[in-house]
């Protein structure tokens, strides 16, 4: 048993025949015959359409009331707020008032400047001179009391008074090891002298005005080691001290 193959699409159709092709009108016998009769185009074979997605369609946007706007037309403008126009009018009125106030202020200032008259500066006053009255001063007279006459038999204790111009021998002694940073002492004539980087032990002899024990002085600056200092006046020790750092010997 054989089966006929099935073709996809409709069966081909034959063009319709012209039923009037053999008839000729005697009135048009002398005319040239017409061209071939019109034939319909053959039908196209049936083709399957492409698949259509049900989600490809997107409806146009709608407003809050659900109305669709036609494509290509602008959306309607939102209505103006009722208080916005009042606010603009109030701002415009305030600007006008400010401008009017500035104009009035400028007019008042300009008129006051025109009415103000500046007086010319007056001449400077003439200087006055006053002659001071002479003053007289009296110098009080001074009277000197007579010097006391020393009584016979009185003697002056030693060390309490000295003869003017007399000097005494002062010896400074500094004992220790190493070197002192500096030594400052009263030199002859009552002036300060300073020696630096002094090798210990150190000694210095000077002559000072009597009484020398009141003016003799020596100070030593040393770090780390303990030192000692002493002062002698005419061979008599009057001061002795020891210490480290700053050491000062002064009989006063």
CATH of the domain at 215: 2.60.40.2880
Per the CB < 8 A criterion, the answer to whether 215 and 208 are in contact is: yes
Q: Once rounded to an integer, what is the mean pLDDT over residues 8-24?
A: 52
Per the CB < 8 A criterion, the answer to whether 211 and 243 are in contact is: no
Q: How far apart are CA 22 and CA 4, in angstroms?
A: 39
Of 220 and 27, the structure prediction assigns the larger pLDDT to 220
Q: How far apart are CA 237 and CA 235, in angstroms?
A: 7
Residue at 220 is within a domain: yes
Q: Is the pTM of this model over 0.75?
A: no
Q: How far apart are CA 10 and CA 22, in angstroms?
A: 32
Query: Residue 181's closest CA among 163, 200, 162?
Result: 200
Residue at 207 is within a domain: yes
When pLDDT is cut at 50, 70 and 90, the band that residue 183 belongs to is very high
Q: Once rounded to an integer, what is the mean pLDDT over residues 142-165?
A: 47
Pull the structure tokens for residue 103. 């104009």
pLDDT tens digit sequence for 26-57: 665 565 555 556 666 777 777 777 666 555 55
Q: Once rounded to an integer, what is the mean pLDDT over residues 111-140?
A: 57
Q: Once rounded to an integer, what is the mean pLDDT over residues 94-109?
A: 91
Residue at 204 is within a domain: yes
Q: How far apart are CA 79 and CA 234, in angstroms?
A: 123
Per the CB < 8 A criterion, the answer to whether 202 and 210 are in contact is: no
Q: How far apart are CA 191 and CA 50, in angstroms?
A: 128
Residue at 144 is within a domain: no
Per the CB < 8 A criterion, the answer to whether 216 and 173 are in contact is: no
Residue at 240 is within a domain: yes
Residue at 194 is within a domain: yes
Residue at 134 is within a domain: no
Among left, alpha and beta (phi > 0; psi -120 to 50; other), residue 18 is: beta
Please tell me the total count of domains within the chain.
1
Q: What is the domain extent for residue 197?
A: 167-249
Q: How many CB atoms lie within 10 A of CB 94?
A: 10
When pLDDT is cut at 50, 70 and 90, the band that residue 233 belongs to is very high
When pLDDT is cut at 50, 70 and 90, the band that residue 150 belongs to is very low
Residues in the chain: 252
Per the CB < 8 A criterion, the answer to whether 203 and 243 are in contact is: no
Between CA 77 and CA 80, with CA 79 as vertex, the angle to 5 degrees is: 120
Q: How far apart are CA 252 and CA 233, in angstroms?
A: 13
Query: Is the predicted pLDDT of residue 243 greater than 80, yes or no?
Result: yes
Residue at 126 is within a domain: no
Q: Once rounded to an integer, what is the mean pLDDT over residues 157-171?
A: 70
């Amino acid at each position: 048993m054989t089966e006929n193959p099935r073709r996809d699409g409709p069966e081909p159709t034959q063009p319709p025949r012209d039923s009037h092709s053999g008839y000729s009108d005697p009135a048009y016998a002398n005319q040239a015959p017409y061209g071939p009769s019109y034939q319909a185009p053959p039908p196209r074979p049936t083709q399957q359409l492409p698949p259509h997605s049900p989600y490809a369609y997107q409806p146009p946007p709608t407003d809050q009331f659900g109305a669709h706007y036609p494509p290509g037309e602008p959306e309607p403008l939102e209505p103006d707020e009722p208080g916005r126009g009042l606010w603009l009018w109030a701002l415009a009125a305030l600007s006008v008032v400010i401008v009017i106030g500035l104009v009035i202020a400028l007019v008042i200032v300009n008129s006051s400047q025109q009415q103000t008259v500046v007086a010319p500066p007056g001449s400077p006053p003439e200087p006055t001179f006053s002659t001071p009255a002479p003053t007289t001063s009296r110098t009080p007279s001074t009277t000197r009391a007579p010097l006391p006459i020393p009584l016979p038999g009185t003697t002056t204790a030693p060390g309490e008074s000295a003869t003017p111009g007399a000097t005494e021998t002062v010896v400074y002694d500094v004992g220790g090891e190493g070197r002192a940073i500096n030594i400052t002492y009263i030199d002859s004539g009552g002036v300060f002298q300073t020696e630096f980087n002094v090798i210990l032990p150190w000694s210095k002899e000077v002559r000072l005005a009597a009484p020398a024990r009141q003016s003799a002085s020596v100070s030593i600056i040393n770090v780390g080691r303990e030192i000692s200092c002493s002062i002698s006046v005419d061979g008599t020790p009057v001061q002795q001290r020891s210490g480290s750092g700053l050491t000062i010997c002064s009989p006063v």
